[in-house]
Structure 1
Amino acid sequence: MKIEQIYTGCLAQGAYYIESNGEVAIIDPLRETQQYVDKANKENAKIKYIFETHFHADFVSGHVDLAKKTGATIIFGPGATTEYDIHEAEDNETFRLGNVTIKVLHTPGHTLESTTFLLIDENGKNHAIFSGDTLFLGDVGRPDLAIKSDLTKEDLAGMLYESLRNKIMPLEDDVIVYPAHGAGSACGKNLSKETVGVLGEQKQTNYALREDMTKEEFVEEVLDGIPPPPQYFAKNAMMNKSGYDNFETVLQKGDVALSAEDFEITANQEDALVLDVRNEKDFVNGHIPNSIFIGIHGGFAPWVGALITDLKQPILLVTPQGKEKETVTRLSRVGYDNTLGYLDGGIEAWKKSGRDIETIESITAEEFSKHYKSSNINTLDVRKEGEYKAEHLDGDNVQHFALDFINDNMNAIDNHKTYYMHCAGGYRSVIAASILKARGFDKLIDIAGGFDAIKKTDLPTTNFICPSRL
């Protein structure tokens, strides 16, 4: 028996390759599926099953394409209905894979069809669970993502409580836990940076598995502090439910080199969004007018999903050299399949063509400190709410303006005012500045290094203290 976790940091997502005696199962595959086919071929094995723990909301899974390539059966848990062929498994149903067995444990709560897959080894011993978003290391899945359900998040949280206690917690302490996500995923609140653990440790350390916890306490704790889901979650879940375009076709359409002239013509004719994925420092120093920055080196796909509201939006790319195909691939992972090409030769080709370039003013934290002390300046803190509450600049003109909700909160700022902007380290503030600049806000100054750099100056900071925890 062979188990391999194939982890993708940008999505904080784990897919799984399980092989026994020449037969393979893939659990929660990524959109680009050739890697699984190649791996099986290298081992002279055949992909027999594709198990989906639920309809994923944070990425588009590769199950449909992989089934077409290999003839493997797609297996969902009870209650899953799709517009393509699947095997809807029954609770406790088993599937033979070589010398091992995979057992279906229906664990609704994160979503109604959420299922944990229990791997039973050659000797009949419970070996591992592939828990999807039912159980993470350090947390459990958020219970507010059910598609078109009349159930409330409180109802789903109650289901999750029962699933954990009736299906997961009775299993042996040495059972390995392979979750669908780790730290950085928006599918939970406090996920561990570890991506593999054992159930006994989770019973001891995971707040949601406390033995003395009542259902009411569980519901309250699991729902406490959950932010609204990113706007693309429901759209990705529907793509996973209804199907999608072939990945190779999407890649072929997007991996097209365009001259500066053709790039500009296409942008105008197709009303395309110009997405610049270079480093934030490069973007600040020179970019195509009205282009949006989301750097590929950061949390690229989740930020694209949170900020670009139309999955069908035509997109043109400005990328570092050699990152063109990777960028198209990573966009497709979250359902953005309408990439039309990239600027051949990058920003230097645009400059050589004589076309306009714009910049964003950027200053150091030390320079900002001098401005802050000498005048009544306006500052935008674009970090998440939890970061802002933990510690932020102390001042009457410091405004929390979370990047997550920038599209909904444009009217909260004045385009006649000058704003100094920061995040934690400099990545998100440039994203925010690029979006505001494209919307007509032209008095923006980015603080390089963000709040991490600001804290090294002598500027005063403050925080929100929860009285109940004093």
Structure 2
Amino acid sequence: MKVEQIYTGCLAEAAYYIESNGEAVIIDPLRETDPYIERAEADGARIKYVLETHFHADFVSGHLDLANKTGATIVFGPTAKPNFEAHIATDGEELKVGNVIIKVLHTPGHTMESSTFLLFDEEGKEHAIFTGDTLFLGDVGRPDLAVKTDLSREDLAGHLFDSLRNKIMPLSDEVIVYPGHGAGSACGKKMSSETWGYLGDQKKTNYALQAMTREEFVKEVTDGLVAPPQYFPKNAVMNKMGYDSIDDILAKGLNPLSVRAFKAAWAEEEALVIDTRHQDDFANGFIPGSIFIGIDDNFAMWVGALITDLQIPILIVADEGRQKEVVTRLARVGYDNPIGYLEGGFEAWTAAGEEVDAVEEVTAADLADRFDKEGMNVLDVRKASEYNAQHIVGAQNFPLDFINSNMSEVSRDKRYFLHCAGGYRSMITASILKSRGYNDVVNIKGGYKALVETNLPMTEFEEQITEL
């Protein structure tokens, strides 16, 4: 028996590969299918099942393409009603895979169809649970992401209480917990940075598994929740209703365009241009009107949080050789309409003599030297929880997460100095502001990490409150 976790850091997402005696299972795959198919082929195994713990909200799963390419059966837990052929398992149903058994445990709460898969080894011993978003290390799934339900988040939290107490906690302490996500995911609020652990440890340390009443649990799990990223419900619908093959998305997006063709497509399609280079390169020069979201950070999450239309035509500026990575990561969160990339990248644009823009930057030390001598408007674009923990005295919190709804808070007549924790989010903010006509913006290099080393007046440090 082989069990492998396939962890994708930019989404804080874990898929799983299980193989026994020539048969394999994939649990919660990402949209690109080749890695799973190649992994099974390396073992000489046939993928028998694609197991989905629930209708995911934070990414588009690869269940449909994987099943179509391998002949595997898609399996959901009880109550799931997908718009495509799938096996809807009953609670307690056992699936045979080679010499091992996987038992379906219906664990509603995160969503009503949410299920946990219990793996028994060749000797029939409980080995591991694949919990999806029911149980994380240090946390449990938020109860407000279900697709089209009449149940309140409090109702769902009540179901989650029952699922944990009746289905998960009675299992042996030695059972390994393989969750669907780790720290950094917006599907929970107190997740550990570890990506697997033992159930016995979770019984001791996970706040949601401690002795409490149902009412106390509901209050604890729902307290502090903020609105999920706008793309979450849209991805959940895609996972339930179906979507285009990623092969078609790649074929469409990996379309090299000359500078002339790029400009024509931009105008004709009313496309959005996303520059995915490093923020330092973007600051030094970029195509006016383009938006920076760098591929080397939480690219997919920020695309999903900021671009409200999943079908908007997208043109890509990328470093050579990284275009496929960009299109793939767009598709992971449901952005299925990339229409091409700038052949030759930004260098081709400048070589053609086209207009360029840049983002003015200052160091934290330079800002500190000028801070008391001239009035300046500092925008702290970190999350409210980060800002509340500690910030520059006088800085205004302008979270990037909510920039689309907070534009009325800034003025085109003012000069703004922007910072986040390290520089990535503030560069995104600068690019959005400049694309909307707010041209007098200055990025603070190094962000908050650099600012704390200066003599700028800071608020007293407070315990940081987790915010999704």
Q: TM-score, normalised by structure 2?
A: 0.98
- Residue 3 of structure 1 aligns to a residue whose secondary structure is strand
Cα pair distance change 1:160/1:464, threshold 3 Å: farther
1:39 CA displacement:
1.4
1:399-457 CA deviation, whole Å, 9 max, x = no partner?
Answer: 10000000011011111111111000000000011111111111101101001101100
1:206-240 CA deviation, whole Å, 9 max, x = no partner?
Answer: 11111x21111111111122221000000000000
**Residue in structure 1 matching 2:447, options 447, 450, 456:** 450
For the residues of structure 1 that align with 2:12 and 2:305, how far apart are their CA atoms? 15
Is the 1:16–1:28 Cα contact (8 Å) retained in structure 2? Answer: yes
- Equivalent residue letter for 2:429: A
Match of 1:399 in 2: 396
Cα pair distance change 1:463/1:216, threshold 3 Å: farther
Aligned pairs, number: 464
Match of 1:223 in 2: 222
- Equivalent residue letter for 1:110: H
1:319-378 CA deviation, whole Å, 9 max, x = no partner?
Answer: 112111100000000001111111111111100001000011110001111222111211
Work out whether 1:99 is the aligned partner of 2:99: yes
1:163 CA displacement:
0.6
Work out whether 1:324 is the aligned partner of 2:323: yes
Match of 1:314 in 2: 313
Match of 1:281 in 2: 280
For the residues of structure 2 that align with 1:79 and 1:437, how far apart are their CA atoms? 47
For the residues of structure 2 that align with 1:270 and 1:391, how far apart are their CA atoms? 44
Identity %: 62
1:464 CA displacement:
7.4
Is the 1:183–1:191 Cα contact (8 Å) retained in structure 2? Answer: yes
1:289-325 CA deviation, whole Å, 9 max, x = no partner?
Answer: 1100000001100000000100001001111121111
- Unmatched 5+ stretches in structure 2: none
- Residue 3 of structure 2 aligns to a residue whose secondary structure is strand
**Residue in structure 2 matching 1:429, options 420, 426, 432:** 426
Match of 1:347 in 2: 346
Match of 2:3 in 1: 3
Q: How does 1:65-104 map to 2 (within 5 A)?
A: 65-104=65-104
Cα pair distance change 1:337/1:350, threshold 3 Å: same
- Residue 461 of structure 1 aligns to a residue whose secondary structure is coil
For the residues of structure 2 that align with 1:171 and 1:90, how far apart are their CA atoms? 19
For the residues of structure 2 that align with 1:24 and 1:83, how far apart are their CA atoms? 25
For the residues of structure 2 that align with 1:391 and 1:140, how far apart are their CA atoms? 28
Is the 1:77–1:106 Cα contact (8 Å) retained in structure 2? Answer: yes
Runs of 4 or more off by more than 6 Å in structure 1? none
Match of 2:415 in 1: 418
- Equivalent residue letter for 2:173: D
Q: How does 1:179-194 map to 2 (within 5 A)?
A: 179-194=179-194
For the residues of structure 2 that align with 1:280 and 1:463, how far apart are their CA atoms? 30
- Residue 185 of structure 1 aligns to a residue whose secondary structure is coil
1:384-410 CA deviation, whole Å, 9 max, x = no partner?
Answer: 111111111112xx2100000000110
Match of 1:256 in 2: 255
- Unmatched 5+ stretches in structure 1: none
Cα pair distance change 1:199/1:30, threshold 3 Å: same
For the residues of structure 1 that align with 2:107 and 2:247, how far apart are their CA atoms? 34
For the residues of structure 2 that align with 1:294 and 1:316, how far apart are their CA atoms? 13
User: RMSD in angstroms over aligned alpha carbons?
Assistant: 1.1
For the residues of structure 2 that align with 1:277 and 1:266, how far apart are their CA atoms? 18
- Equivalent residue letter for 2:280: K
For the residues of structure 1 that align with 2:79 and 2:358, how far apart are their CA atoms? 52
Match of 1:337 in 2: 336
Is the 1:110–1:143 Cα contact (8 Å) retained in structure 2? Answer: yes
Work out whether 1:35 is the aligned partner of 2:35: yes
- Residue 408 of structure 1 aligns to a residue whose secondary structure is coil
Is the 1:28–1:50 Cα contact (8 Å) retained in structure 2? Answer: yes
Q: TM-score, normalised by structure 1?
A: 0.97
- Residue 403 of structure 2 aligns to a residue whose secondary structure is helix
For the residues of structure 2 that align with 1:181 and 1:234, how far apart are their CA atoms? 18
For the residues of structure 2 that align with 1:371 and 1:323, how far apart are their CA atoms? 40
Is the 2:246–2:331 Cα contact (8 Å) retained in structure 1? Answer: yes
1:103 CA displacement:
0.4
Match of 1:380 in 2: 379
1:250-286 CA deviation, whole Å, 9 max, x = no partner?
Answer: 1011112111111111111111100001111111110
Cα pair distance change 1:83/1:463, threshold 3 Å: farther
For the residues of structure 2 that align with 1:278 and 1:34, how far apart are their CA atoms? 26
For the residues of structure 2 that align with 1:450 and 1:118, how far apart are their CA atoms? 45
Work out whether 1:294 is the aligned partner of 2:297: no
1:22 CA displacement:
0.5
Is the 1:389–1:463 Cα contact (8 Å) retained in structure 2? Answer: no
For the residues of structure 2 that align with 1:217 and 1:437, how far apart are their CA atoms? 47
Is the 2:118–2:130 Cα contact (8 Å) retained in structure 1? Answer: yes
1:154 CA displacement:
0.8
- Residue 288 of structure 1 aligns to a residue whose secondary structure is coil
Q: How does 1:191-206 map to 2 (within 5 A)?
A: 191-206=191-206
For the residues of structure 1 that align with 2:438 and 2:270, how far apart are their CA atoms? 20
For the residues of structure 1 that align with 2:355 and 2:293, how far apart are their CA atoms? 20
- Equivalent residue letter for 1:273: L
1:465 CA displacement:
5.1
Match of 1:12 in 2: 12
Match of 1:124 in 2: 124
- Residue 116 of structure 2 aligns to a residue whose secondary structure is strand
Match of 1:54 in 2: 54
Match of 1:140 in 2: 140
Is the 2:382–2:420 Cα contact (8 Å) retained in structure 1? Answer: yes
- Equivalent residue letter for 2:14: G
- Residue 78 of structure 1 aligns to a residue whose secondary structure is coil
- Residue 32 of structure 1 aligns to a residue whose secondary structure is coil
1:127-179 CA deviation, whole Å, 9 max, x = no partner?
Answer: 00000000001111010011111111111111111111110010000000000
- Residue 374 of structure 1 aligns to a residue whose secondary structure is coil
For the residues of structure 1 that align with 2:133 and 2:250, how far apart are their CA atoms? 28
For the residues of structure 2 that align with 1:360 and 1:350, how far apart are their CA atoms? 17
Match of 2:23 in 1: 23
